[in-house]
């Protein structure tokens, strides 16, 4: 009798531990995936970087579908945790086995995503030079044309937020179709290559306020919004007459340098992309480790349940034997 009570108490304790682990591991990992997918959709830097590095050959909706898939996977993991809790409360081994198989599927998916992100992180430096050359060539031949709206927007966003101009430097526009085909409205560089305040003053402000250059300021984002409008890539006549615009577009380096982003964007884009890839790999690898722990607990539960059922069958068969 005492042995049965101890076994029952151990089963209840194991059940509570399993429910707790389901809630913790499933909801944490699922919640992180939902947040990551939502952040990818909310933060324009992800989709603009994707458009830029794919040379606009892959439609933007592919990135949106990927982000939505991550959100769906997170929601599935959260629902799966509830499914595991239900199976544990009902003491249903069939449901728990299904739960384990689904967890293994999620584990394989997360390992695949982590491996893919890690592959991108390590392979990217070997293709960076070729990709940079392709981007410079596309900038020279296609930038400014209305049919290249997605690429133009990605370039403008990158220049305005990273405080840079071109991919090598601002001279990428010298031999561009944008300049030679009079697509530039008489500009030397796009407005997103210009700073609304003297760059020397902006650098001092960043040094004292510890502002990350990628964050940009309100003027930068307003400039990007105006420069990437569907009506025109360039700014209204009232802005065009501003002193900072005249100085940035001046052919005299003494006037333009303090309002023109002279450095190219490629180094910052490369760092940004590899940092995103490494972060994604670490995130999915960490979630996969959580899934390992999440799989071990229900397996232990199943083994304990099968052992208890076996003991019950043995005890029942002994009691059913006739006394000699």
The domain limits of the chain are 2-134+268-314, 164-266
Tell me the two tokens of residue 185.
Answer: 């409205």
pLDDT at 231: 36
Q: Are 76 and 33 in contact (CB under 8 A)?
A: no
With 80 as the cut, is the pLDDT of residue 138 above it? yes
Distance CA 52, CA 155 (A): 7
What pLDDT is attached to residue 18?
Answer: 66
Closest CA to 80 of 37, 115, 33: 33
Please give the pLDDT value at position 92. 75
Instruction: Identify whether the C-beta of residue 51 lies closer than 8 Å to the C-beta of residue 154.
Output: yes
SS3 string, the chain, reads CHHHHHHHHHHHHHHHHHHHHHHHHHHHHHHHHHHHHHHHHHCHHHHHHHHHHCCCCCCHHHHHHHHHHHHHHHHHHHHHHHHHHHHHHCCCHHHHHHHHHHHHHHHHHHHHHHHHHHHHHHHHHHHHHHHHHHHHHHHHHHCCCHHHHHHHHHHHHHHHHHCCCCCCEHHHHCCCHHHHCCCCCCCCCCHHHECCCCHHHHHHHHHHHCCCHHHCCHHHHHHHHHHCCCCCCCCCHHHHCCHHHHHHCCCCHHHHCCCECCECCHHHHHHHHHHHHHHHHHHHHHHHHHHHHHHHHHHHHHHHHHHHHHHHHHHHHHHHCCCC
pLDDT average, residue stretch 226-249: 52
Q: What is the pLDDT of residue 83?
A: 83
| 200: Cβ contacts below 8 Å, ≥ 6 apart | 258
Residue 213's pLDDT is: 39
For the cut 90, the answer to whether the pLDDT of residue 34 exceeds it is yes
Rounded to the nearest 10 degrees, the angle between the axes of helix 2-21 and helix 60-89 is 160
For 177, residues 6+ apart whose C-beta sits below 8 A from its C-beta are 140, 141, 142, 143, 144, 145, 183
Mean pLDDT confidence for 274-281: 91
| % of the chain exceeding 70 in pLDDT | 67
CB atoms within 10 A of CB 149: 13
Q: Is the pLDDT of residue 178 over 80?
A: yes
Mean pLDDT of 158-178: 90
pLDDT, tens digit, 9 for 90 and up, residues 185-234 = 778 888 888 887 665 544 333 333 333 334 444 554 454 444 444 333 43
Q: What is the mean pLDDT of residues 290-295?
A: 78
Sorting pLDDT into bands at 50, 70 and 90, what band is 125?
confident
Greater confidence, 56 or 145? Answer: 145
pLDDT higher than threshold 50 for residue 5: no
> Rounded to whole angstroms, how far apart are CA atoms 28 and 287?
9
- 291 closest CA partner among 117, 116, 113, 100: 100
User: Cα separation of 131 and 265, whole Å?
Assistant: 13
> Both tokens of residue 257?
């340098």
- Cα separation, 13 vs 92, in Å, equals 16
> Which residues 6+ apart lie within 8 Å of 25 measured at CB?
81, 290, 291, 293, 294
């Amino acid at each position: 009798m005492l042995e049965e009570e101890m076994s029952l108490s151990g089963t209840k304790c194991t059940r509570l531990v399993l429910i707790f682990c389901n809630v913790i591991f499933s909801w944490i990992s699922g919640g992180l995936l939902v947040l990551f997918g939502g952040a990818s959709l909310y933060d324009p830097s992800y989709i603009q970087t994707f458009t830029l590095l794919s040379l606009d050959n892959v439609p933007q909706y592919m990135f949106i579908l990927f982000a939505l898939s991550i959100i769906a996977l997170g929601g599935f993991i959260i629902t799966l945790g509830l499914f595991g809790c239900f199976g544990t409360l009902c003491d249903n081994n069939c449901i728990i086995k299904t739960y384990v198989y689904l967890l293994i599927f999620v584990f394989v998916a997360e390992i695949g995503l982590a491996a893919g992100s890690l592959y991108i992180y390590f392979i990217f430096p070997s293709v960076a030079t070729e990709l940079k050359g392709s981007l410079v060539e596309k900038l020279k031949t296609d930038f400014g044309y209305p049919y290249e709206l997605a690429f133009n927007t990605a370039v403008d966003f990158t220049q305005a937020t990273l405080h840079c101009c071109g991919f090598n430097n601002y001279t990428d526009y010298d031999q561009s179709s944008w300049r030679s085909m009079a697509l530039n409205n008489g500009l030397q560089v796009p407005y997103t290559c210009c700073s609304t305040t003297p760059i020397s003053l902006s650098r001092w402000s960043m040094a004292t306020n510890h502002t990350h250059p990628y964050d940009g300021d309100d003027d930068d984002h307003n400039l990007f919004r105006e420069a990437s409008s569907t009506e025109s890539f360039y700014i209204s006549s009232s802005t065009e007459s501003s002193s900072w615009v005249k100085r940035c577009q001046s052919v005299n380096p003494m006037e333009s340098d303090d309002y023109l982003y002279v450095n190219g964007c490629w180094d910052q884009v490369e760092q940004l992309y590899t940092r995103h890839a490494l972060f994604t790999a670490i995130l999915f690898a960490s979630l996969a480790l959580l899934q390992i722990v999440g799989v071990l607990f229900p397996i232990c539960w199943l083994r304990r349940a099968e052992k208890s059922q076996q003991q019950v069958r043995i005890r029942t068969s002994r009691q059913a034997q006739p006394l000699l």
